[in-house]
C-alpha cells in the first residue's frame, strides 16, 4: 500500500515538473525583487539606473485626477490593472518598473535561468523593442512629442558589463 502511494506521488511530481514554463502562471514580482541581483556595480547597477529614471517616477508625474484615471495609469504603472495574487510584490506606486519592459519575472528570476539568455527568454524574459515601447509612447499621450526607439533606448540603457554588453 505504501509503495503504491509513493509511486503515485512520484508520478504526480514528474507530471508537475514536466509542465512547460510557458504553461505556468507568470506573476509580477516587482522592482524590489529585481534589485536583489540587479543592483551591483560589477554587473551594471540596473536597479539604480531605473530608480533615477522617469519610468520610476511615472506615478509622481501624474497630477490630481490623472492619478486615478485608467487612461493614464495603464502606462504610468506596471501593476495597474493586474489581478494581483498574494505572492506578487509589485505595487502601483513603483511606476513603470522592470517588468513593464521585460515581462513578468516570476518564471525567469532565478540566477540559474537568468545566466542563460535563451532559458530566460523561454521563461518569459522580454527584450523590449520599438513595438513594445510604442504601446505607451504614442499619440494617445497628451505629452507625446514623437518617439524614436533608438534615441530613447540609449537614454535608459542599463547594460551588464560583466556580460560584455
Every domain of the chain and the residues it spans: 23-156
pLDDT value of position 165? 64
Q: How confident is the model at residue 4 (pLDDT cuts 50, 70, 90)?
A: very low
pLDDT value of position 2? 45
Cα distances from 99 to residues 59, 102, 142, 162, 164, in angstroms, run: 15, 5, 24, 22, 23
Segment 71-89 shows an average pLDDT of 90
Greater model confidence, 24 or 155: 155
Whether the CB-CB separation of 120 and 113 falls below 8 Å is answered with: yes
| Residue that is written with C-alpha cell 509503495 in the block | 3
For residue 69, pLDDT beyond 90? yes
Read off the pTM.
Answer: 0.80
| Architecture in CATH of 23-156 | Orthogonal Bundle (1.10)
Q: Which three cell numbers stand for residue 99?
A: 517588468
Which of 22-26, 93-97, 126-130 has the lowest average pLDDT?
22-26
Q: How confident is the model at residue 133 (pLDDT cuts 50, 70, 90)?
A: very high
The whole-angstrom separation of Cα 122 and Cα 128 is 15
Task: Produce one character per residue of 135-144: b if its CB has 16 or more CB atoms within 10 Å, e if not.
Answer: ebbeeeeeee
Q: Which of 131, 92, 87, 93 is nearest to 105 (CA)?
A: 87
Greater model confidence, 5 or 88: 88
pLDDT value of position 89? 87
Amino acid at each position: 500500500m505504501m509503495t503504491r502511494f509513493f509511486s503515485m506521488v512520484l508520478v504526480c511530481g514528474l507530471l508537475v515538473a514536466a509542465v512547460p514554463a510557458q504553461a505556468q502562471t507568470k506573476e509580477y514580482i516587482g522592482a524590489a525583487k529585481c534589485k536583489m541581483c540587479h543592483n551591483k556595480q560589477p554587473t551594471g547597477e540596473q536597479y539604480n539606473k531605473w530608480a533615477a529614471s522617469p519610468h520610476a517616477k511615472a506615478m509622481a508625474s501624474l497630477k490630481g485626477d490623472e492619478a486615478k484615471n485608467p487612461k493614464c495609469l495603464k502606462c504610468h504603472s506596471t501593476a495597474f490593472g493586474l489581478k494581483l495574487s498574494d505572492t506578487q510584490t509589485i505595487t502601483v506606486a513603483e511606476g513603470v518598473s522592470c517588468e513593464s519592459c521585460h515581462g513578468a519575472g516570476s518564471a525567469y528570476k532565478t540566477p540559474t535561468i537568468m545566466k542563460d539568455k535563451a532559458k530566460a527568454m523561454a521563461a518569459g524574459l522580454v527584450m523590449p523593442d520599438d513595438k513594445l515601447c510604442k504601446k505607451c509612447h504614442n499619440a494617445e499621450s497628451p505629452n507625446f512629442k514623437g518617439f524614436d526607439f533608438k534615441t530613447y533606448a540609449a537614454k535608459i540603457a542599463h547594460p551588464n558589463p560583466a556580460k560584455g554588453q
